[in-house]
Chains A and B, each alone.
Chain A
Amino acid sequence: VNAADFAEDCLVRRRIAICVGCGGVGKTTVAAALALEAARRGRRALVLTIDPARRLADALGVEALGNRPQPLARATLESLGVPAHGALSALMLDMKRTFDDLVERFADSAEARERILRNPIYQHASQALAGSVEYSAMEKVYEMWEREDYDLIVVDTPPAEHALDFLEAPQRLLEFLESRIVHMLIHPAFAAGRFGVRLFQHGTRRVLQLMERISGIGFLQDLSEFLLAFEGMSVGFRQRATRVRSLMLGPESSFVLVTGPGRESVRQATGFRDRLEGFGVPLAAVLVNRVRIWPGGGSPPELADAGGDVDALAAAIRAACGPAVPAEAAARAALHAATGYAALVRRDARAIRDLREGAENAGRFWAQIPELAEDVHDLAGLARIADAVFRAPSEGTS
């Protein structure tokens, strides 16, 4: 698969691109670069970020504008080569606000809404409930997708140990909300005390008794109150979670795996890839960020026998820089630096070799993004990343 096909499929034909990968590999930056590339191809693109680096957030203009898309100025876009019909907006996810919005939308009465928003368990749960970041990110994607203001939404997923955390979050929340134990907890007979427990199955009753014994009754009362308030909105909530999931796994979405060349990143990326495949998720591309590339491309030369040429280099340095420069020391240091950098280039190539071969054998798009001398924190940096992915010069052998 070449860059043009990948761009056509993921950035032009489909409507959602989901960037997955472990933390610390520059996933947010790559997601933003993909959105910029889509905009350059005339799409109205939105990048949804979870926790961007501050200067990148500043560059995208999303600071303090949590949870609402913020369009980039037309003049800025023009300078980046975005045509008149293309656009780029960025949104920084605010998890608490996304949950509150959901409660606003699905609560069956104003009173229920207030009860939920004020419940101490909700206030903790909306942030601590397993999978709530993942869920709120998916919910936000769905909301933006529904509005049809954007041709393409690029999603930067929360850093996770496992690729499936993101996909499984809504399912887990649903199973929880529909579980028998939740129904028991919100049953008035339970809330009133222990009367009527014989109505329930033996095993579940034991569980509740045990929970009460461990946690104390006050906690269970708060919990059942919270769940009771939540019950009224569970139908809407459930329908929505099911739709969000089908959208993510459906033909409108594609997945892009982002990793770095570090051993640990590659190990985790391989795990992500295998799990996504096992889940039947179509992985469109593997992008390796911040790979050290030999200047001019190709494999670094073997420098072990170059020591004899240091004198010649010293003479050249003396000729170019004059007698004040310690030319012999400089020549030795230059050889040392080239040897050191060559080791880094080989190390990265070795670390990503299997991942690369796997992607090529599976017919996936594969690209490496060269490590730049500076951190990417501005729009020009995003443009350079997009160029590396989509307009790489024909690669040397490595």
Chain B
Amino acid sequence: MAPESLLERRLVVVTGKGGTGKTTVSASLALAAARAGRRVLVAEMTRDEALVPLLAPGSAPAGYQGREIERGLTAMCIDPYSALAEYLGLQIGLRGLVERVLSNRGFRQLMAAAPGWRELITLGKVWHLEQMTDARGAPLYDLIVVDAPATGHGVALLNVPGVVVSAVRAGPLRRNAQLVEDMLTDPERTLLLPVALAEELPTRETAELVARVRDEVGIPVDRVVVNGVVGPPFPPGLETLDALLARLPAGERCGALPPAGVLAACASFLRARHELNRGYVALVGELTGLPVVPLPYLVEGLTREAGAPDPLERLGRALLAQEAA
């Protein structure tokens, strides 16, 4: 069963362990959606902004207020204390009181150690953004892409609303958590997009993530992105090039070329990496039972070179490629 278009959701939560490139995937998806005519908000939840430097190198941080990076693409950074200040302001309305509370030392100590509130308030802000409308009553953003924090399994973030709903008996906290949970578990609105690498640990963790998300959180997930996939290194018919080169005397040199042994070693390395990658891509699909969207490994990373295609655009096309197919 082919997954539905990523562009048809209201909220895509991009998740994955550190180093899998989920920030890159978030940026690529947001950019592709904006260029397809959607009004897009992309939000990250780290203390160090990494998204804006990717989308617009050298520009000022977007901060909690957010900033339009290009037509139809707004970036923001949801930090929990700003979200808390805004929430308390909306709940109480007395700004002086909110400020006194937030600057209270005991309160800050409590918040520094208290579990769960960061996740809840951050997701609460996402819910709030999802509810926002323009002057004509249409949603302000067609698509919200959330670059979820890398710590833990990502499930920690997503099951907080459910935990609050089950642990708190009544009151505004419970009501708000319920609204957030309803949004997260609504397949019409939300999709979780796990990002893996074609390596052992990310493969296993992604399989665990998908299993837990299905069993515990109930957030829709219909595909897995595997980032940094190395394609076949040799042309068809020469799949065993390294073995051919190994038959040459290792020290044999042809002009300025490296010795045959070095050529064989280079070819052998590329082939081994490709085969390992291919194996893990298959394993991700097998363990999760989901379609896999492979993204190509980019040797030059995300550096944009004059005249060369924008790497984010290339990844964005790859992300949406399966949908066209």
Contact = CB atoms under 8 A, between A and B. Distances in A.
A179 B265 contact: no
Contacts of B247: 320-321
Contact of A338 (B20, B262, B302): B262
A358 interface: no
A125 interface: yes
Given A129-B113, A334-B267, A218 B170 contact: yes
Contacts of A159: 17-18, 150-151
Given A216-B170, A309-B254, A334-B267, A129 B115 contact: yes
Contacts of B118: 130
B307 interface: no
Interface string B4-37: 0000000000000111110100000000000000
A203 interface: yes
Contacts of B113: 129-131, 172-173, 175-177
Interface in A139-166: 159-162
B92 interface: yes
Contacts of A179: 105-106, 109-110
Contact of A55 (B172, B197, B200, B254): B200
Contacts of B255: 306, 308-309, 312
A353 interface: no
Interface stretch (B218-226, B235-243, B316-324): B235-243
Chain A CB within 10 A, most for which of B50, B115, B160, B299: B115
B237 A329 contact: yes
Nearest to A158: B151
B245 A334 contact: yes
Given A182-B110, A375-B199, A264 B262 contact: no
Nearest to B301: A263
Interface string B273-290: 100100000000000000
Interface string A271-311: 10000000000000000000010111000010101101110
A303 B254 CA distance: 12
Chain B CB within 10 A, most for which of A24, A313, A340: A24
Interface string B81-122: 000000010011000010011001111011011111010000
Contacts of A175: 109, 112-113
A247 interface: no
Nearest to A300: B258
Contact of A337 (B106, B202, B204, B270): B270
A228 to B, nearest CB: 16
B244 A325 contact: yes
Contacts of A73: none
A175 B114 CA distance: 11
A365 B231 CA distance: 36
Interface string B116-130: 101000000000000
A85 interface: no
Interface stretch (B132-140, B161-169, B178-186): B161-169
Contacts of B273: 373
Interface residues of A, number: 88
A176 B110 contact: yes
A376 B197 CA distance: 16
Contact of B107 (A161, A172, A207, A343): A207
Given A24-B19, A129-B113, A312 B254 contact: yes
B114 A333 contact: no
B266 interface: yes
Contacts of A184: 106
A118 to B, nearest CB: 14
Contacts of B234: 333, 337
18 contacts: A23-B150, A54-B200, A128-B116, A129-B114, A132-B115, A162-B47, A179-B105, A181-B106, A181-B110, A206-B97, A206-B100, A206-B101, A271-B48, A305-B256, A312-B254, A316-B252, A337-B233, A340-B266
Given A125-B115, A219-B168, 8 more contacts: A159-B150, A176-B110, A204-B104, A216-B169, A303-B258, A310-B257, A312-B254, A340-B270
